[in-house]
Amino acid sequence: METIIKSNFTVLNHPLIKHNIAILRSKDTSSEAFNMALKRISYALFFEASKYLPTETIKVETPIQEAENEVIKKDIEVIVAPILRAGLVFSDIAQTLLPFCHVHHLGMYRNEETLEPIWYYNKMKGKFKNPENTYVFILDPMLATGNSGYDAVHNFVKQGIKEENIVFMSLISAPCGVKKLQEAYKNLKIVTAQLDICLNAKGYIVPGLGDAGDRIFNTL
């Protein structure tokens, strides 16, 4: 897959991604069709986001002969951290592709006036036995102001997880959100399917797709 990469910031660039983003953007798309399109894109996002995981070589007996093969290193810990609620849409695919991962939910909602996150749930305090060898995927379909993303990354960095071992994975990103994360965390990786234009006065991504949580969970 051809991707656009600017220092730790990757935008997927593929006709199937664009095709499915058009489905997601349309206000006429049902919640069911929305979730299907999002799942299709999620696989591509995860393959890109997880390409940084370290591997080791093992020996495998094929029916023909012994082979050497790379596998994900066994002594690492992989954390998948969906930001509730919209980030949940990526969780089951994360568990399908990374069956050894631990899922840590980050509960935040947005104060509609200040656009600052308000935490209500954090399941991951004090859990890391080996932060140096821990790899984190933070999941949020919409990287808008970057305020909740900033808090989510901080939550892991302050526990000793290396910035370069954290990937922020989003479906659509706004330039100001990307800038906020990149300025705060120089080595953080960001993987997104689409870079949009800006935010409106209410903090929604333009042109975006509206409220991702409402569209995923059919609560419009």
Q: Whole-number minimum distance, CB 105 to ligand URA, in Å?
A: 17
Nearest-10 Cα torsion for 109, 111, 114, 119: -50
Residue 208 within binding range of ligand URA, rule CB under 6 A: yes
* Tokens describing residue 113: 């006036």
> What is the footprint of ligand URA within residues 117-146 (CB under 6 A)?
142, 144
SS3 76: coil
> What is the footprint of ligand URA within residues 136-195 (CB under 6 A)?
142, 144
Amino acid code (one letter) for 50 = S
- How many chain residues bind ligand URA (CB under 6 A)? 9
Residue 45 within binding range of ligand URA, rule CB under 6 A: no
> What is the footprint of ligand URA within residues 76-115 (CB under 6 A)?
86
The DSSP-derived string for 140-164 is: -SEESSSHHHHHHHHHHHTTT--GG
CA-nearest of 90, 52, 91, 86 to 72 is 52
Q: Pick the closer one to ligand URA by CB: 131 or 210.
A: 210
Region of 15-23, 32-40, 116-124, 204-212 interacting with ligand URA (CB under 6 A): 204-212
Q: Pick the closer one to ligand URA by CB: 134 or 147.
A: 147
- CB atoms < 10 A from the CB of 143, how many? 27
Q: Whole-number minimum distance, CB 201 to ligand URA, in Å?
A: 12
- CB atoms < 10 A from the CB of 30, how many? 11
Amino acid code (one letter) for 169 = M
Q: Pick the closer one to ligand URA by CB: 49 or 144.
A: 144
Q: Whole-number minimum distance, CB 196 to ligand URA, in Å?
A: 8
Residue 205 within binding range of ligand URA, rule CB under 6 A: yes
Distance CA 23, CA 30 (A): 10
Distance CA 191, CA 49 (A): 6
Give contact residues for ligand URA (rule: CB under 6 A).
86, 142, 144, 204-205, 208, 211-213
